[in-house]
Amino acid sequence: MGHVISIVNMKGGVGKTTVTVNLATCLAKDRAMRVLIVDLDTQINATLSLMPPLNFAQLRKEKRTLKQLVNQTIQPNPQSHFSIHDIIQRNICNVNGLDLLPGNIELYNDFLLAVLLYSKTNSSQQDFERNWNSLENSLIRTILQPVISSYDWIFLDFPPGDNLLTRSGLIASHFYLIPTKPEPLSVVGMGILEGHIKKLKHYDRTKIELFGIVFSSLGHATRMATKIKNRVSADFGEDKIFTTEIPTNVAVAKAVDQFQPVVLTEPTSTGARAFTELTREFVQRFSKAVGASPFKNS
């Protein structure tokens, strides 16, 4: 059974997608793991970090994105014969074991999901709320169920903010990893996230556990950054802070324009080396957490 991990922060621009695609690529390329990336963000940054826009446009035209799976789960069509196996893009970027479930710029927001739920029931408000909670609990789990045993890791790349897909992804996850920057707004995003997870746990809707916190550097040391790091360490525990930090690096930005992770485009760059080290620490931490490492070549 694979482990599902949410890469999440309620604040945007903190490096969630960059961490997702590079960490997943390193696990597949260097550790011989089977890894699936699921793009839950309507900005489709993870998708476009792994394939050119023309390729995505073709998949969208062929209706081979996450949107179709969401729609099929909410409104099952007995005449439809496609499944998640038809939509997953295998060995993306020519990396064996690295697969992608593409996102969609037209992925449902909460309003459209509410309309869909209302359209399939003529029930009361109370019944609608029950159906809504049931959908939150089951949507992402149902989508992933046919393939979860095929992977060592499934990485969920989230949009900033809170919506049904985010909550459903958190409920479906075993762990969550928080990328952040040592700046006030990023830490506020972490606090909001912790509040949402605490609420989900209070109602026994998830057993998700914090895997760790990864800092991206601001490119220069400041007194404020040091103060924020110390505060985060005090709040979450020093053992939850990854020692590896992701530096500001031109190669990482350039890789985005090549629609590939920096660990493939410039593997000797400072940024790529940081992700290689992050992967090593990720493996170590997981091995320590479970008592035995499932990783090959570790």
Alpha carbon distance 89, 228 (integer Å): 39
Alpha carbon distance 170, 198 (integer Å): 11
294 inside domain: no
Contacts of 122 (CB under 8 A, 6+ apart): none
Alpha carbon distance 15, 246 (integer Å): 9
- Mean pLDDT for the stretch of residues 206-218: 91
**What pLDDT was estimated at residue 125?**
63
CA 258 to chain centroid, in Å, comes to 21
Q: Supply the CATH number for residue 55's domain.
A: 3.40.50.300
295 inside domain: no
Residue span of the structural domain in which 172 resides: 3-289
Average pLDDT, the chain: 89
Higher-scoring residue by pLDDT: 229, 202: 229
56 inside domain: yes
Task: Give residue 148's identity as a one-letter amino acid code.
Answer: I
298 inside domain: no
- Mean pLDDT for the stretch of residues 261-272: 96
Q: Which residues pair with 36 in a beta bridge?
A: 99, 154
The CA–CA distances, whole Å, from 16 to 182, 214, 268 equal 14, 10, 22
Higher-scoring residue by pLDDT: 75, 89: 89
- Mean pLDDT for the stretch of residues 121-134: 70
Report the number of distinct structural domains present in the chain. 1
Task: Give residue 188's identity as a one-letter amino acid code.
Answer: V
The CA–CA distances, whole Å, from 281 to 17, 21, 236, 274 equal 18, 16, 18, 10
Higher-scoring residue by pLDDT: 125, 195: 195
86 inside domain: yes
**What pLDDT was estimated at residue 253?**
84
- Mean pLDDT for the stretch of residues 39-51: 95
- CB atoms near residue 47 (< 10 Å): 30
pLDDT above 80 for 254: yes
pTM for this one? 0.92
Instruction: Give 110's pLDDT tier (boundaries 50, 70, 90).
Output: low
Instruction: Give 140's pLDDT tier (boundaries 50, 70, 90).
Output: very high
Q: Which of 98-102, 107-111, 207-211 has the lowest mean pLDDT?
A: 107-111
Backbone angles phi, psi at 181, to 5 degrees: -120, 150
Is the separation of the CB atoms in 98 and 29 below 8 Å?
A: yes
DSSP string, the chain: -PEEEEE--SSSSSSHHHHHHHHHHHHHHHH---EEEEE--TT-HHHHTTS-HHHHHHHHHTT-SHHHHHHHHHS--TT----HHHH-BTTGGG-TTEEEE---TT---HHHHHHHHHHT----HHHHHHHHHHHHHHHHHHHHTTTGGG-SEEEEEPPSS--HHHHHHHHH-SEEEEEE-SSHHHHHHHHHHHHHHHHHHHTT----EEEEEEEBP-SS--HHHHHHHHHHHHHH-GGGB-S--BPP-HHHHHHHHTTS-HHHH-TTSHHHHHHHHHHHHHHHHHHHHHSS---TT-
Reported as a single tens digit per residue, the pLDDT across 155-194 is 999 988 888 899 999 999 999 999 999 988 888 889 899 9
Instruction: Give 298's pLDDT tier (boundaries 50, 70, 90).
Output: very low
Contacts of 202 (CB under 8 A, 6+ apart): none
Task: Give residue 41's identity as a one-letter amino acid code.
Answer: D
151 inside domain: yes
pLDDT above 60 for 281: yes
